[in-house]
Amino acid sequence: MTEQEYLIERLEDQISWYDKKSGQAQRYYKWMKRLVIIISASIPLFVGFIAEAKVWATIVGTLGVIIAGIEGWLSLSKYHENWIEYRSICETLKHEKYMFLTKTGVYNGIEDPFKYFVERVESIISKENVNWANLNSKNNGG
């Protein structure tokens, strides 16, 4: 595989994937947290109506169940953790790419910078895959 093929077919593909997944996780996380804030803020308002009609007690209880459900889902889905992790990896891969292309930093003056670059990029990707597997095995009781 040539440098150009590796940069396009492997590295750019990975950067794009992590960028997309980071943005998606961020949107899901923020959307659900906003929903929790809105529902939580409405509970004190609805509690004031309980004395007038018992249906408000059911509404308040239901809102509490919805909040617990959303928070539970956020805990299981790890949107916040994935957002941060994916963004970090994306930015690390971009940094590595620009250091290689400009032959600066660790690539300055070494004999075979492309080989070293591939090893570093694959190490970053591999480390993330191991972290993901460990995180998911802990979530599944493993």
Per-chain mean pLDDT for the chain = 90
Question: Is the pLDDT at 135 greater than 80, yes or no?
Answer: no
Burial class (CB in 10 A: 0-12, 13-18, 19+), 100: buried
Q: Each residue of 104-128: pLDDT tens digit?
A: 999 998 989 999 999 999 999 988 7
Question: Is the pLDDT at 12 greater than 70, yes or no?
Answer: yes
Can you give the residue ranges of every domain in the chain? 3-139
Tell me, what's the pLDDT at 87?
Answer: 96
The mean pLDDT value for 52-81 works out to 94
CA distance 119 to 129: 15
The Cα diameter of the chain in Å comes to 81
**Residue carrying structure tokens 């109506």:** 49
Tell me, what's the pLDDT at 88?
Answer: 95
Looking at the whole model, is its pTM more than 0.85?
Answer: no
Q: Where do the DSSP E strands lie in the chain?
A: none
Tell me, what's the pLDDT at 29?
Answer: 98
The mean pLDDT value for 43-60 works out to 89
CB under 8 Å to 10, separation ≥6 — which residues? 1, 121
Tell me, what's the pLDDT at 50?
Answer: 87
The mean pLDDT value for 28-57 works out to 93
